[in-house]
Amino acid sequence: MTVDRVVSERTAMGSKIVIPNESIESFRCSLCQNYLSVPPVMIITKDGEQQKCGRCRDVRTKLNVRNKFYENLVKLSSFPCIYPKCAGRIQWGDVEDHERLCPNRTVACPIFLHNCDETVEVSDYKSHCVTKHPNFLYFEKFVYNGIKFGFYYVRILVKHELPFLIYVNAEKDDFWISVLSFYPLMTENWKYDVRLSSGETGGPFLLYEKQEVIPYDEKEHCSRCVLGSCELKYHPYSKMYRIEPEDVKTTIIDAEKAINLLETESFLCTVTLIDDGKLDYNVEKPVNDICLDTNIKLMRRILQCPICMEYMVAPIYTCATGHAICKACKPKVENCPTCKAEISTTRVFALEEISENVEIPCQYTGNGCNFLGNVERICRHEEVCSNAP
């Protein structure tokens, strides 16, 4: 029994719906091109053909209409992981957590200043840096003598075999330092200290203690976005949106105070990572992949027209609020029976796709019927099912 061929599975606990792989490929975010598997899913064009997923929730679009029909339907479904080496299928509602913690998670190498454009598994990132960026790699402590204004520094600090990303933005009007972890679950176990001095033994220094390590989010903390050179439309701080990232700036330094106290504009910067002694190196998280039998009933209810109560097939129309109506009932009514809003000519393409491709079990499964079919086939079958009471 393969995922590609059979899309409803029975288990001792209940049932779940699996969308065929060929259909899932058409359910992709118009911005990041990942699966529409993270809520909220928003329609972003008037024709309804472009949608964005919850991964892109912070990317501003002119139109944002939540596609509740699609969300309700895929609550019954599981999706492939977006990371190529992960073979799991993840239930709706668990996808975002899984992607943050997936042992096969990949990142685009943030050391782009060294002309690196490779995508690397997080678990292999230290080895990648040893091979490709040895001059950018530090162990146990980050010590850099010669931090100067007008420069932006990206470095990797390794402690306990874990890589951390260090950003230093040295501008007189925007001087800050950040330390980011590639392992979100471990972030709370770490703090860091920053020490700035002129480099003279026994001289004055600035000390920033117990600073927060933040989890690295490739879209939110893109090093190109920080520099204002990123052109990726699914990054909320891409230069096309002209919004400056703020949450990445964890240690704000008063440049004027540093210059006056240390009597220099070239600093010795030391970053020391401190752990709390309670490190948990298990970065995997089990994901529930079971939907109960009640989800099958929900699938049927969502696919039913609210007027004639028959299953809907393409074309499926929607009112201004987002409620669906079948093609047979649309000419018969002017207003939505649910909310009284005007019924438009806008079609619910995601619902049509699911109606055509997602197979559900016969309603007489409890009587011994094992038939599976999409909406059109299930309607024909149930009329003549030998297991009907």
Residues 145 and 267 in one domain: yes
Residues 114 and 251 in one domain: yes
Residues 46 and 158 in one domain: no
Percent of the chain with pLDDT strictly greater than 70: 88
Residues 223 and 127 in one domain: yes
Sorting pLDDT into bands at 50, 70 and 90, what band is 347? confident
Q: Which of 97, 95, 79, 96 is nearest to 87 (CA)?
A: 79
Structure tokens at 384: 């003549």
Partners of 15 in beta bridges? 10
pLDDT of residue 20: 63
Q: Tell me whether residue 342 is in a domain.
A: no
Q: Count CB-CB contacts under 10 A for residue 78.
A: 24
Residues 245 and 296 in one domain: no
Biggest CA pair distance of the chain: 91
| Long-range contacts, 56-62 (Cβ 8 Å, 24+) | 56/29, 56/31, 56/32, 56/219, 56/234, 56/236, 58/219, 58/220, 58/236, 59/31, 59/233, 59/234, 59/235, 59/236, 59/241, 60/236, 60/241
| String of DSSP letters for 234-264 | TSTTSTTTT----TT--EEE-HHHHHHHHT-
Q: Tell me whether residue 315 is in a domain.
A: no
Structure tokens at 365: 């499964």
Q: Tell me whether residue 99 is in a domain.
A: no
Higher pLDDT, 360 or 333: 333
Higher pLDDT, 353 or 321: 353
pLDDT of residue 13: 34
Residues 166 and 55 in one domain: no
Region of poorest pLDDT, from 130-134, 312-316, 352-356: 352-356
**pLDDT of 19-56, one tens digit each?**
666 667 788 999 999 999 999 999 999 888 899 999 99
Region of poorest pLDDT, from 75-89, 243-257, 270-284, 322-336: 270-284
Task: Quote the Cα angle for 203-209-215, to 5°.
Answer: 135
> How many domains, the chain?
2
Residues 35 and 145 in one domain: no
pLDDT of residue 6: 33
Residues 34 and 154 in one domain: no
The runs of H, that is alpha helices, within the chain are 21-24, 68-74, 95-101, 125-132, 223-227, 255-262, 294-302, 349-357, 375-384
Read off the CATH number of the domain in which 155 is found. Answer: 2.60.210.10
Q: Which domain holds residue 180?
A: 106-275
Taking residues 85-95, report their average pLDDT. Answer: 87
Residues 233 and 155 in one domain: yes
Q: Tell me whether residue 388 is in a domain.
A: no
pTM of the model: 0.67
Residues 44 and 136 in one domain: no
Asked whether the predicted pLDDT for residue 14 surpasses 50, the reply is no
